[in-house]
Amino acid sequence: MSDTLDLFIRAEHADLMKKLNAWDIAYHQNDAPIVDDATYDAAKKRALELEEKYPELAKNGASTHVGAAVSTKFKSYPHTRPMLSIADVFNETDVADWFSKLPSRDLFIELKIDGVSFSARYENGILVRGLTRGSGVAGEDITENLKTIPDIPQKLSGEYPDVIEVRGEVYMSRADFIDLNARSKKPFANPRNAAAGSLRQLDAGITAKRKLSAFGYTYGDVSARNWQTQSEYMSRLESWGFKTTSHWARHAHSIDDIQNVYNDIMTHRAEIPFDIDGLVIKVNDIKTQERMGARANSPRWEVAYKFPAARAITILRDITPQVGRTGVLTPVAELEPINIGGVVVSRATLHNADEIARLGVKIGDKIIVQRAGDVIPQIVGVAESGNGAPYVFPTTCPVCGAAVIQESGAVARRCVNALSCPAQRIGELEHFVSRHAFDIAGLGVRQLELFVERGWIKNPADIFTIIARHGDAIKNLDGFGDKSVANLNTAIEGARRIDLHRFLYAIGIPDVGEVTAKLLAKKFGNVDRVRRATFGDLLEIDGIGDTMANEIISFFADAHNNEIIDELLQQITVVDATTNANTDGPLTGKKIVLTGTLANYTRDEMRELLESMGARVQSSVSPKTDIVLAGADAGSKLQRATELNIPIWSESDIEKLKK
């Protein structure tokens, strides 16, 4: 490659991986996909194409990437054998290319369930541990949650190996999904989200109340294998007490066989009582599977033959802007209800104003709608233009009436009233009471929703008066009592004194995370100086650029925000940054980047320790970085530090400074 081409290719690949990683976190950790399967698949396919053509991009690329990092909410354990993903194919040509390389033509075809992967480890027939896929190398401990699912036996029946890890998919049938949403205050978007959100609960009691189902389909660690084929293993699963998709499974020996199965399942897809998004085609013989082995992130002996997005044509009746948790306005298409792939669709996302302009859609048009991967319905084009006028995006928030702004270079348009817009309230309040903000234990989403619904909390300041005003009423709510109200009061009172950087993080200034909040606190010292900061003042801070400076200026220029902050300051004490500043620590002024897994500290603990020594912890390596603190499995940051000749430290180096 030429140097110029190399630069463009690397930039494109880096952008693709940034998107894929963000989408993976939304899908695997947050159980809330933000793009449809078709968009994700297209980005992943392009990244893989680049990595195949330029192998140096493969390291930390799509070809080596599985799932998302394990959430810190759960304990994690390493998988005895990695839980790999399955390579996707999308058409007969892709299938034929894979098929031509097989040493065996005996294939076993299963349904690709649109659910959540699990691994259940049995020792002497007893379920001892359940994990999510996680990163593929390590998973989240969901043992107690799996025990609540009837389809996953806690004790195996029949004859079984001393040790066996059964792997499969947890899902929710469409009927159970409809029933759950009918009982939920916040409906789930689709059965996959409902299954994922139910399975990854810290309270297994919540999981138990949801009607989850499961299929087994493969295995991980096993002490002794007495089956020779995938079809035999499916029979073993059923003898142990698992349900499988054997009823829909097929054998194939040619490309024509595969396509016939594909066409047959596609025809009857809506009749299957749970969501599927394709077929999984496997070499049936286990020894052949073992000989073929795997790539970095997927076996060579199986592929997922994905179904295309289901499409239909209907009429666009209206466009309604919805205000999300962060204040971003998302235009939603209100449709003439249409059946797409067995599901009645009446709404679809239009993403943003730029997308509306790109598509050229107007109210009254006949538009093409697709359900890509059965996730988020979206409009993909205009089939027949009507006589409607072009849509005008609102300049004021449809919920609270505050101004809607669009920063320079940004696509999204956002309500500026972050602290008191009702549409943003729950999300902002949840952030406000979180561990790195005001850290008010006992005030979670459930409690906040109850209190907001009753009008007891309208803005953050109301948190500090709620017990005095509504304590007796709270005691009479389900799940509350004298002790819980007393505990909540103690937590609230303990939060009345807060450091400046935590306060700045808590109030939800757009783009201002913990690191930036600390920079602001260090630069300005107190709340008033931060509120009066000019654009020039902000740009003097290394780490704050034009976009972030504009966000900060806009936030403090908004009358609603200032009113809420003034009310809040009447209830609390914000400790000036100069009170706790360490100007003579052993690491004062040093810019340090953390990477890898630490042995004796969490990331947050190490960050606090370094900052207590006067260091400034950064998120990325640059020529200005003084030290990179590396733990186990450090990746690209360590490599970048080595290239720049930046000193590499270990935990022991920090321990020496403590003595």
Instruction: Tell me the CATH number at 645.
Output: 3.40.50.10190
Q: Is 220 helix (H, G, I), strand (E, B) or coil?
A: strand
* pLDDT tens column, 632-653: 777 778 888 888 889 999 888 8
Element of type H or E holding 529 = helix 527-532
Last residue of a domain, one of 18, 34, 64: 64
Q: Are 574 and 596 found together in one domain?
A: no
Question: Domain range for residue 603?
Answer: 591-658
Q: Are 627 and 507 found together in one domain?
A: no
Q: Are 532 and 468 found together in one domain?
A: yes
Does a structural domain hold residue 395? no
Q: Are 99 and 175 found together in one domain?
A: yes
CATH number at residue 56: 1.10.287.610
Last residue of a domain, one of 306, 329, 346: 306
* Confidence (pTM): 0.48
Q: Are 283 and 314 found together in one domain?
A: no
* pLDDT tens column, 168-207: 999 999 889 888 888 877 777 678 888 988 888 888 888 8
Q: Are 118 and 252 found together in one domain?
A: yes
pLDDT band, very low/low/confident/very high, at 135 (cuts 50, 70, 90): confident
CATH number at residue 239: 3.30.470.30
Q: What is the pLDDT of residue 2?
A: 42
Q: Are 137 and 244 found together in one domain?
A: yes
Does a structural domain hold residue 340? yes
pLDDT band, very low/low/confident/very high, at 458 (cuts 50, 70, 90): confident
Q: What is the mean pLDDT of residues 393-409?
A: 86
Measured CA to CA, the distance from residue 292 to residue 290 in angstroms comes to 5
Q: Are 543 and 440 found together in one domain?
A: yes
Q: What is the mean pLDDT of residues 398-427?
A: 81
Q: Are 430 and 314 found together in one domain?
A: no
Place of tokens 């599901």: 343
pLDDT at 469 exceeding the cut of 90? yes
Q: What is the pLDDT of residue 29?
A: 58
pLDDT at 422 exceeding the cut of 80? no
Helix, strand, coil proportions of the chain in percent (round to 5)?
Answer: 40, 25, 35
Terminal CA-CA length for the chain: 52
* Active site positions, annotated: 112
Does a structural domain hold residue 188? yes
Q: What is the pLDDT of residue 32?
A: 59
Does a structural domain hold residue 163? yes
Q: Could you tell me which residues are beta bridge partners of residue 641?
A: none
Measured CA to CA, the distance from residue 281 to residue 327 in angstroms comes to 44
Q: 242 or 275: which carries more pLDDT confidence?
A: 242
Does a structural domain hold residue 413? no
Does a structural domain hold residue 414? no
CATH number at residue 342: 2.40.50.140
Q: Are 149 and 279 found together in one domain?
A: yes
Query: What percent of the chain has a predicted confidence (pLDDT) above 70?
Result: 91
Does a structural domain hold residue 219? yes
CATH number at residue 428: 1.10.150.20
Q: 557 or 580: which carries more pLDDT confidence?
A: 557
Instruction: Give the rounded distance of the alpha carbon of 522 from its chain centre.
Output: 32
pLDDT at 71 exceeding the cut of 60? no
Q: Are 548 and 440 found together in one domain?
A: yes
Spatial contact of 142 and 288, defined as CB atoms under 8 Å apart: no
DSSP 70: P
Spatial contact of 382 and 358, defined as CB atoms under 8 Å apart: no
Q: Are 118 and 22 found together in one domain?
A: no
Number of domains in the chain: 5
Does a structural domain hold residue 507? yes
Angle at 344 between CA 343 and CA 348, to 5 degrees: 105
